[in-house]
Amino acid sequence: MNQSVAELDTALGTHDLSVWYGDTQAVKHITLDIPRNRVVAFIGPSGCGKSTLLRCFNRMNDLIPTARVEGEVNFRGQNLYADDVDPVEVRRRIGMVFQKPNPFPKSIYENVAFGLRINGFKGDLKEQVERSLRAAAIWDEVKDRLQDSALGLSGGQQQRLCIARALAVEPEILLMDEPASALDPIATSRIEDLIEDLKKDYTIVIVTHNMQQAARVSDFTAFLYIGELIEYGDTERLFTNPSEDRTEQYITGRFG
């Protein structure tokens, strides 16, 4: 069932997006659309700019003093890099899960409740924490020890807690920067199953080093190389019949 990005409703799109770190250009004039309620994977060798591109989507690059962004990231008809856009609001709408699980050194409950408190959540805090933990498929493992430190959880559990933390503030898009690269195969497969479940309610963009993972979890795949978008399209087609030589060389393991 090969499908085209153009036929689908767009959740977020970039237009001629470039990023510099000092004098080095990490992302070069990338234009692509992320379809709603789909999983898009960014693949490519180390240093190809896939993480940098991902971090543009919720203005995480703002935190790096030397980073400079040009071009547009459009979300709900608004350029996220326009002057009147507050990155704090962007990050609530577009959540992020990081490479290494990074729970707060607080209780499991507090990890999820923090985002709700700071954003002035008006509903039932406990209920929302439970719903988020359930959505991240970790509720059954932690429901009896919500007040224990999150640092006592295993790596895989910590990462699912981080996903719950991101989901709690009800984002529309979930960005995942190599979310399973620090985890063992069993924990990885749980995260992958979870991504499959979350697709129903969220648009997911995942950066991964692992091509099998991209093939397993994503609907669309973008291949980046030295800051450029080489190829972007239906995952199955891209892996079985890439149209670019460099894509084929990369996915068949001839470089990278």
Partner 1 sequence: MKGQEDRFEPRLAQRRRNGKIFQAVCLSSIAFSVAMLVILLADVVRDGAAWLSFDFVSSFPSRIPARAGIKPAILGSLWVMLLVAALSFPFGVGAAIYLEEYAPRGRLRRLIQTNIANLAGVPSIVYGILGLAIFVRFFGFGRSILAGAATLSLLVLPVVIIAAQEAIRAVPSSLREAAYGVGATRWQVVRHHVLPVAMPGILTGMILSLSRAIGETAPVILVGALAFVAFTPSGPMDLFTVLPIQIFNWTARPQAEFHGLAAAAIIVLLIVLLLMNATAILLRNYYQSRRGD
Binding site for partner 1 (CB under 8 A): 58, 60, 63, 65, 88-89, 91-92, 95-96, 98, 100, 102-107, 114-115, 118-119, 149-152, 162, 165-166, 168-169
Shortest separation between residue 44's beta carbon and partner 1, angstroms? 22
What gap in Å lies between CA 160 and CA 58, rounded to an integer? 20
Which residue, 117 or 254, has its beta carbon nearer to partner 1?
117
Shortest separation between residue 115's beta carbon and partner 1, angstroms? 3
What gap in Å lies between CA 239 and CA 146, rounded to an integer? 42
**Would you say the C-alpha torsion 206, 215, 36, 17 has a positive or negative sign?**
positive
Element (H, E) at 79: strand 78-79
Cα 102 to Cα 20, 99, 148, 153, 185: the distances in Å are 26, 8, 16, 11, 19
Which residue, 79 or 119, has its beta carbon nearer to partner 1?
119
Shortest separation between residue 121's beta carbon and partner 1, angstroms? 11
Cα 114 to Cα 65, 108, 125, 138: the distances in Å are 26, 10, 10, 18
> 47 with 68: CB under 8 angstroms?
no
Which residue, 89 or 244, has its beta carbon nearer to partner 1?
89
Shortest separation between residue 119's beta carbon and partner 1, angstroms? 5
Shortest separation between residue 26's beta carbon and partner 1, angstroms? 18
Residue 22's Cβ-count burial label (10 Å; 0-12, 13-18, 19+) is exposed
User: DSSP 3-state assignment of 94?
Assistant: strand
Which residue, 119 or 249, has its beta carbon nearer to partner 1?
119
* Radius of gyration, alpha carbons of the chain: 18
Shortest separation between residue 148's beta carbon and partner 1, angstroms? 9
What gap in Å lies between CA 127 and CA 124, rounded to an integer? 5
Which residue, 16 or 89, has its beta carbon nearer to partner 1?
89
Which residue, 104 or 139, has its beta carbon nearer to partner 1?
104
